Amino acid sequence: MTIANAQQQVDEWIKTVGVRYFSELTNMAILTEEVGELARHMSRQFGEQSYKEGSVASTSEEARRRLLADEMADVLWVLICLANQTGVDLTDALQKNFEKKTNRDAERHQNNEKLKP
Residues 6 or more apart from 109 whose CB is under 8 A from it?
115
Cα dihedral value 61, 64, 69, 74, nearest 10: 170
What domain range includes position 41? 3-89
In a domain, 72, yes or no: yes
CATH value at residue 30: 1.10.287.1080
In a domain, 46, yes or no: yes
pTM attached to this predicted model? 0.89
Mean pLDDT, contiguous 10-residue spans, the chain (117 residues): 98 96 98 97 92 78 92 98 98 97 88 87
Sign of the dihedral through C-alpha 91, 95, 100, 101: positive
- pLDDT value, residue 108: 87
